[in-house]
């Protein structure tokens, strides 16, 4: 009875632990993903949907930080740009979603003179090769923006690819269809500029989120292939979806480092040459550790099962020995009973024989 009670207590404890694991919130998963690799199998066991949901949430945080950085840089551009527009910049006109700057040559603002990196303004060209040369130039300078006749292209070292932000989208959000140099100066010095910052944030958010989500999911897929190879080396059978889920959680620290990288870049622009290599390496280390910890747990459980099997075998032998002794005892008792009955029968017969014999000299 005592053993059964202990077993029931263990089962109830396991049920409570499973319930707590299923109710694990985002921030607890975030914490466990960084400091408690042993929890990876439990989190992965919650399913593909929960892993993707976790990925969406952490990418949203990354996107918010990036977009706030873009807005902050836009704020710096506006503050610096007002004086530049008043004193050095040529006249321009924006009308019907087209920007026309009265300059026959491209205007280049170096990274040292701009908070957003190198800036190139050319509203005359439509040649895609020329535009690509501009993108390459700002990329080599560590990031920046290219202002064209119908769009702005932003290159940030923290994000793969180039962000395109069309004037048509700006017009839809701000309801501004026409302005010139003086209008921009007056607008930048008024409270209405806040609407521009909001429109920039909203317009960039969806683009950056989709791009970052696809990139992170792709990294998780590549990492999961590496995880399959690791599981094969560790000689442990795992379903691919479980390894993919673990890969998502393994990317957590890398994504947080990326968030910090973006945040620092907002104030101090710099470029880490092998950041992507470090990004993947950190995640791979976490995934390898999780798989080998799972392997260790598997071996430990196998050992426990072997001990249980050995204990069950010992108990079985003890029970068989007990049953054998009880059978022997029962047989001995049966034999004794038979012997007593036999002895009783013999005495009875002997008595009957004695009674049937006449004493000698009885006929005298």
At 42-90, the pLDDT tens digits run 888 888 889 999 999 999 999 998 888 888 877 777 777 777 777 778 8
* Cα–Cα dist 190/198, whole Å: 15
pLDDT at 314: 73
- What is the chain's Cα-based Rg? 42
pLDDT at 158: 63
Mention every residue, 6+ apart, whose C-beta is less than 8 A from residue 283: 219, 223, 247, 250, 251, 253, 254
Asked whether 247 and 50 are in contact (CB, 8 A), the reply is no
Ranges of residues in the chain whose predicted pLDDT is under 50: 1-11, 13-15, 17, 362-364
* Cα–Cα dist 62/55, whole Å: 11
Mention every residue, 6+ apart, whose C-beta is less than 8 A from residue 123: 92, 99, 100, 101, 103, 147, 148, 149
Backbone phi, psi, residue 100, to 5°: -125, 110
pLDDT at 213: 92
pLDDT at 309: 60
pLDDT at 3: 43
pLDDT at 5: 47
Across the beta sheet with 118-121, the strand order is: 107-109, 118-121, 144-147, 151-155, 163-166
The two three-digit tokens of residue 221, written as one number: 């897929």
pLDDT at 274: 75
Strand 151-155 vs strand 144-147: parallel, antiparallel, or unpaired? antiparallel
pLDDT at 4: 44
- Cα-Cα end-to-end distance for the chain: 82
Total-model pTM? 0.58
pLDDT at 59: 93
């Amino acid at each position: 009875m005592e053993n059964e009670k202990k077993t029931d207590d263990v089962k109830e404890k396991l049920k409570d632990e499973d319930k707590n694991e299923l109710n694990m919130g985002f921030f607890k998963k975030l914490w466990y993903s960084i400091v408690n690799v042993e929890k990876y199998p439990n989190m992965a066991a919650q399913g593909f949907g929960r892993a993707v949901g976790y990925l969406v949430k952490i990418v949203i945080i990354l996107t918010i930080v990036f977009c706030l950085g873009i807005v902050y840089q836009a704020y710096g551009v506006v503050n610096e740009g007002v004086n530049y527009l008043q004193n050095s910049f040529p006249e321009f006109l924006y009308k019907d979603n087209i920007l026309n700057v009265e300059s026959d040559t491209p205007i280049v603002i170096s990274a040292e003179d701009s908070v957003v990196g190198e800036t190139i303004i050319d509203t005359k060209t439509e040649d895609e090769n020329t535009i690509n040369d501009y993108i390459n130039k700002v990329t080599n300078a560590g990031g920046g923006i290219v202002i064209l006749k119908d769009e702005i292209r932003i290159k940030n070292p923290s994000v793969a690819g180039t962000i395109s932000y069309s004037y048509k989208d700006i017009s839809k959000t701000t309801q501004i269809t026409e302005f010139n140099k003086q209008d921009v100066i007056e607008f930048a010095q008024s409270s209405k500029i806040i609407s521009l910052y909001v429109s920039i944030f909203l317009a960039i958010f969806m683009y950056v989120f989709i791009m970052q989500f696809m990139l992170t999911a792709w990294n998780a897929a590549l990492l999961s292939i590496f995880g399959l190879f690791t599981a094969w080396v560790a000689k442990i059978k795992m379903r691919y979806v479980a390894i993919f889920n673990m890969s998502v959680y393994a990317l957590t620290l890398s994504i947080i480092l990326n968030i910090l990288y973006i945040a620092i870049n907002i104030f101090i622009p710099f470029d880490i040459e092998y950041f992507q290599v470090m990004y993947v390496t950190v995640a791979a280390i976490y995934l390898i550790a999780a798989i080998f910890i799972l392997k260790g747990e598997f071996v430990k459980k196998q050992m426990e099962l072997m001990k249980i099997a050995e204990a069950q075998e010992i108990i079985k032998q003890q029970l068989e020995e007990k049953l054998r002794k009880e059978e022997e005892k029962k047989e001995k008792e049966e034999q004794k009973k038979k012997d007593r009955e036999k002895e009783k029968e013999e005495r009875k017969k002997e008595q009957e024989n004695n009674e049937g014999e006449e004493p000698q000299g009885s006929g005298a």
